[in-house]
Amino acid sequence: MALARAQFYRLPSPGATEGGKRLKVQFNPTDYTLTKTNQLAEIGVPGLDSPILQFVRGQTETMKLDLFFDATEEGTGPQVKAVTEKTDDFYDLVKIDNNTHAPPILLFTWGGTAFPGRIRNGFKCVCSSVTQKYTFFSETGLPLRATLSVELKEYKTLTEQLQQLNLKSSDHTKSDVVGARDTIASVAQRAYGGTGSDWRRIAEANGIDDPSAIPPGAILRIPRGDQ
């Protein structure tokens, strides 16, 4: 049975020049670290022993791993090539695309379509940093072995986040961000469920006279739902 190889996919995006490209690691990582944190604000109240903690927002989940590359597998004679020929494609993952003006969106997988651990369909992410460390050289100074320390930040669109959160209680929903394809009715449906017929409640709470003229990115205050 062939060893399952970890790999990166450049996911296609409009205007990207490298969409769909697949990058296989030379050796699987020995371990990886996942970190997920929350941003909390400390609200100081005079006379209390400790401040009140207020949840602000979740932070991006981060994956860190090391990738090892070795150019001496083909020998160490004069024909050996620099290990950078193997690592350059991975180093480019942190650079912006000429057309999108942003780093590529990636999918990191290990073992075909399944990813070990709790992330079953791969880790959709953007590479936030790559650190290269060269550890072995030829007599002429050619780098032959390298370790790349890679940091990946999970990538989710607004729609994906709202679908995954699946917030049930409108009483705990204080605001909503209007998406590119949103209408005030779809915001109401997301907040209260049903068909979105409660959109007038949101319009009145935000002083909206023309419900069809809400710009994307607007933050709407969502009043409490019926008890």
What structural domains does the chain harbor?
Answer: 6-155 (2.40.30.200), 159-221 (3.10.350.10)
**DSSP state letter for 38:** E
Q: Collapsing DSSP states into helix, strand and coil, what is residue 212?
A: coil
Cα gap 94→104, rounded to integer Å = 8
Residue 196 tokens read as: 């979105």
Strand segments (E) across the chain: 6-10, 22-24, 32-35, 38-43, 52-58, 62-70, 105-110, 123-137, 143-154, 175-177, 219-221
Q: What is the pLDDT along the chain (227 residues), one digit of tens a residue?
A: 567 888 898 887 655 555 567 888 999 999 999 999 998 888 887 877 888 888 888 888 999 999 999 998 766 666 788 999 989 988 888 888 777 788 888 889 887 544 544 455 688 899 999 999 999 998 888 999 999 999 999 988 777 777 766 655 544 546 777 877 788 888 888 888 777 788 888 888 888 888 887 877 778 888 876 54
User: In angstroms, how far is CA 44 from the centroid of its own chain?
Assistant: 33
200 Cβ contact partners less than 8 Å away, ≥ 6 residues apart: none
